[in-house]
Structure 1
């Protein structure tokens, strides 16, 4: 793949960055509007659940459709629907007719479409970026996500109070238009047909099942899915707990400082991945960065200190982006392009299910189990309380520290898992594509590593897998 393909990738990446930022602005603004209109935390929480659940349920079908259809057609259709739904909400708000249920329906539609957009964008990377640049290209995709998530809360809040919700929606609509123009001007290549992809063609049910078979048939992919899911269990709790932990001992403005510092870590982590491409041995980009990630969580739980929690948030976000970029890079290298939509969708369904579950569990576990332990005269006030403190929020801090230990245990388990440790090395030069079955080669793996894989498999050659 030459420079022209990389230029196409950069153009589509830049327009995706603009669109992601617009979508994040709208998501933030709509959530604020629902809470201000209803005063209900439950209805606000419902918007988060609706943003995840439909996409999770639709993921297997979405992955099969991505591998059947043109990536560009999927992205263009999604943008067109995005324009229609956003414009409708803007007009309803301007007319004074906007209701929370309008937002709930729109959120379901967007979540369902995102189940197709994400695997389409992820699988696009390997079609446009040279093999030795896949790590950096995935890092750039992380930059787009990080920047949009960092900018959206601050910019969305300013726009809500400065120009109103209707202008936030119309700005989002304009970002969709920008992406449509860029996609119309840049063609995304059709994935080359592979033996496995050709054999798997048939009904949608057959193709959906093949996505699961490909992932389940590669030990490294299964190990990576379990590894990533274990990390997501902690990530979901941290996402929910960070706000009440900080607010329990500091002001809302201090929380804003912590979130901003965490956002900077998110951006710098993705920029680092984009410029570096990750370590040559993939395991160091996964389990290796899970070690400091777990340590940062433990540090953030030690004292009720804004500075300490901010440092923990920065390190947590930074390491998360390296792990995420490395994971997507391995799938991009190890799975045939015409199967990646299904595999990415299957992988995302597993990990997002765990993430959504942890969102649902975080509140009850924190409020009913851990907080009572570290109140005055609580069961652990005289022991653990001497270390992390006693009072509001310290039970959640204890939970945060235990999650850090869970992440450290996950990192150790990752290094002790042969199939995860034997993931393909980062390619130093483009590998040739011969259309052969995935089980007959190990892209980017040196001879010694390939031999190690054979030994682990009991003598039978097993494909190196991933995420």
Structure 2
């Protein structure tokens, strides 16, 4: 293995990637199970809502920990606790006692662990990778959510062979792989031991809000967080409703193929971002690909067609690594390294907050508002229904049209906002003397 920071980043990232793949397979199988048992988009969306709320609740603590505690320890403990929750799930499945309500607390616990892991990982990343490669590294990091989206195709085949208990057991084994890699890979001391580790405490409230205070000192960064929150709101609504939309006109096996196609699009976007690194002015990448994402999302509403979704879902998800990678690179270079963990936690709160609102609104809007309006005798049947059709799933399709239009409007705002246009011109704070790590890695 290479001895430089990039090699270590690749090794740690690979371990987390294996774990994310296992979790994605289990999450897909459980999600389909809940929807088939309940028949409710609201109950299905509640899983994702609880995950988002749990992530928001612990994000300030995760940021404070990343600026105060050994980050390798955060990665290890997060995986251990998530593995324990998965072991409980495996026990329930094997004993035949799994109920719908069991899924919710287990999902919340694993989401909390993921928040600690992501905040620690994104804080370590810019301290390992040379700044000229930061955009590429952030693009490569987006392979993790891409694999989680692509996992359903593997889930369908595994479910037929090893059944639900076997799928959960595989997920549990992936945590062991991630833990082994994190333990064995030597990381530079200054990447994993925060500069504030021995600093006097500021008080609990000041510690928790330190990331927001740091961001407010940098004009344009609060606008960037608002942009990320709004983007994740729209993407969250689409994410929670795409599976119910597809299941209204096809079966779970086709759903798995389409989810894999979407994940492949995101993997392609991650590969492009990794090779390219994004535009020199990173905010340009954010706003340009926001517009492309909005158009692709809106076109999902045209017809209940597996072929249509198979083309548009990968196109939409292709944009996500470029949007997120560009935004993360901006935050990582424009924030003081001593507050980087808390700033990354603030970004996580903005993203998960938008996602939580999207998740909370999506199910009720689909089940109670737009779904009935686009039934054959509904209020919109003769107007909007004449364009996108009526019947099951057409209310969800209308939500896709609305969220797509919102993303295009968001891109227009990012183009018009002076603060966002100038955010690339802020001085870089991740200077060589602050980010150069010890040549001696910490013990593995």
TM-score normalized with structure 1 length = 0.82
RMSD across aligned positions (CA): 3.2
Q: Distance in 2 between matches of 1:263 and 1:22?
A: 14
Answering whether residue 119 of structure 2 is matched by residue 119 of structure 1, we say yes
Q: Partners in 2 of 1:269 and 1:69 — Cα distance?
A: 33
SS at match of 2:187: coil
| Of 350-359 and 252-261, the range deviating more from structure 2 | 252-261
2-side partners of 1:416 and 1:199: how far apart?
A: 41
Alignment correspondent of 2:238: 238
Q: Deviations over 1:320-377 (max 9, x none)?
A: 2210111111112112333221111112112212211111111222333333444435
User: What is the deviation of 1:92?
Assistant: 4.8
* Residues 52 and 111, structure 1, Cα contact 8 Å, conserved in 2: yes
Q: Secondary structure at the match of 1:68?
A: coil
Alignment of 1:41-440 (within 5 A): 44-96=44-96, 103-151=103-151, 153-191=152-190, 201-250=201-250, 252-376=252-376, 378-424=378-424, 431-433=431-433
Deviations 1:284-320 (A, max 9, x none): 2100111111111232223444333332212111112
Alpha-carbon distance in structure 2 between the residues aligned to 1:96 and 1:367: 30
Partner of residue 24, structure 2: 24
Q: Aligned-pair distance for 1:223?
A: 0.8
Contact 2:269-2:321 within 8 A present in 1 as well: yes
The separation in 2 between residues aligned to 1:369 and 1:89, in whole angstroms, is 34
Structure 2 Cα separation of the partners of residues 405 and 121 of structure 1: 33
Distance change >3 Å, CA 351–CA 200, structure 1 → 2: farther
Distance 2:356 2:207 in 1: 26
1:78 and 1:117 in contact (8 A); partners too: yes
Relative contact order higher in (CA < 8 Å, ≥ 6 apart): 2
1:12 corresponding residue in structure 2: 12
Residue 186 of structure 2 aligns to a residue in which SS? coil
The Cα of 1:54 is off from its aligned counterpart by 1.8
**Where does the alignment leave 5 or more consecutive residues of structure 1 unmatched?**
436-467
- Structure 2 equivalent of residue 462 of structure 1: none
Residue 189 of structure 1, CA deviation: 3.3
Report how far residue 149 of structure 1 moved: 2.5
Deviates more, 1:416-425 or 1:10-19: 416-425
Q: Counterparts of 2:142 and 2:329 in 1: how far apart (Å)?
A: 11
Shift of 1:133: 0.7
Unaligned residue ranges in structure 2 (runs of 5+): 436-444
Distance 2:38 2:294 in 1: 38
Give 1:250 shift: 4.9
Distance across 2 between alignment mates of 1:266 and 1:419: 29
Bigger mean CA deviation after superposition, 282-291 or 154-163:
154-163
Which segment drifts farther, 128-137 or 76-85? 76-85
Tell me if the contact between 1:51 and 1:111 (Cα under 8 Å) persists in the aligned partners: yes
TM-score (structure 2 length as normaliser): 0.86
| 107 and 364 in structure 1: CA distance in 2 versus 1, 3 angstrom threshold | closer
- Asked if the contact 1:34/1:44 (under 8 Å) is kept, the reply is yes
Count of equivalent residues: 432
Asked whether the equivalents of residues 197 and 339 of structure 1 are also in contact (C-alpha less than 8 Å), the reply is no
Tell me by how many angstroms 1:171 deviates: 2.1
